[in-house]
Structure 1
Amino acid sequence: MGELPQHLSSRYREGLAVRRAVLGDPHVDNAEKASTDFDKPFQQLITETAWGTVWSRPGWTKRERSMVTLALLAALGHDEEVAMHVRATTNTGATREDICEAFLHVAVYAGVPAANRAIKIAKQVFAEMDATGGKQNER
């Protein structure tokens, strides 16, 4: 994790701290290691906007943001992101019951197939987490 270069914005710095708090240091470290010159601008964009602007806002807890994020990702069929954010609930405080409730909303408002797929993904992630003693699987 080391010192961040001074040229990075305060929004990036705040976003990186929130990203680490939600997704965990190993996930963020792996994403940074995998980053190339090609996708560095994208990584900076999501760190500043998703994490430094949206996830950093006051008013909603990380638990609430986690549930909304899971519902949106499930509704849009972003399976890898659903799995990543299910794992992140160990850091956001969203419970398995919260996730189930979010996916019930998906079923009603975005369709049963989207919710069914998200539930299947969540069950796989829970099984992996349970097998590792609740620790996040580093992907």
Structure 2
Amino acid sequence: MSEKSRRYTEGMATRRSVLGDAWVDRAEANKTEFDDAFQELITEAAWGHVWSRPNWTKRLRSVVTIALLAALGHDEELAMHVRATARTGATADDLREAMLHVAIYAGVPAANRAIRIVKQTLAAMQSGETQ
């Protein structure tokens, strides 16, 4: 394995702070030679270049990310980022507002589907289920 860049190291720290050590440890344990380069890319680009920037809080980045994932119909990633709100500080009220924006700007069907996923994920979090 090659030496990791500063951006990778910073990205990994941010990724762990948002998703939690258990999630990242599972992702790292499950990566293979096939997706190692992809994992490095998202750690550097998404977590190191974007999520680590000081301009927005993790709460704001979380809400924006959730709205984008909802609008694009990326259900698995949406649920993952809803679970991450436990660490980013985004609230159920924040998510409700984001879903209203999704309904207006991306369409009611996208928001309807996303609201179902958000509700299920929040309920699972409240009952203590983890994933």
- TM-score class, shorter: over 0.9
Q: Structure 1: which 5+ runs fail to align?
A: none
Does 2:42 match 1:46? yes
For structure 2, which runs of at least 5 residues remain unmatched after alignment?
A: none
Q: Which amino acid aligns with 2:92?
A: R
**Does 2:88 correspond to 1:92?**
yes
Where do residues 47-66 of structure 1 align in structure 2 (5 Å cutoff)? 47-66=43-62
Higher helix share: 2
User: For the residues of structure 2 that align with 1:126 and 1:102, how far apart are their CA atoms?
Assistant: 15
Q: Which residue number corresponds to residue 34 of structure 1?
A: 30
Question: In the alignment, which residue of structure 1 is the partner of 2:126?
Answer: 130
Cα distance in 2, alignment partners of residues 6 and 39 from structure 1: 15
Q: Which amino acid aligns with 2:130?
A: N
Partner of 2:4, secondary structure, is coil
SS of structure 1 residue aligned to 2:54: coil
Q: Name the counterpart of 1:13.
A: 9
Provide the C-alpha distance between the structure 2 equivalents of 1:35 and 1:126, rounded to a whole number of angstroms: 28
Q: How far 1:6 sits from its partner (Å)?
A: 7.3
Once superposed, what is the RMSD of the aligned Cα atoms? 1.2
Segments ≥4 residues shifted beyond 3 Å: none
Query: Whole-Å Cα distance in 1 between the matches of residues 53 and 69 of structure 2?
Result: 20
Q: Work out the CA distance in 1 between the residues paired with 2:127 and 2:89.
A: 20
Taking the aligned partners of 1:56 and 1:126, their CA distance within structure 2 comes to 25
- TM-score, normalised to structure 1, is 0.91
Which range is displaced more, 67-76 or 6-15?
6-15
> Match for 2:64 among 54, 68, 80?
68
Listed one character per residue, the Cα deviations across residues 81-122 of structure 1 (whole Å, up to 9, x for unaligned) are: 000000000000000000010110000000001111111001
- Identity across the alignment (%): 66
Cα deviation code 1:30-76 (max 9, x no counterpart): 00011000000000000000000000111100000000000000000
Aligned length: 131
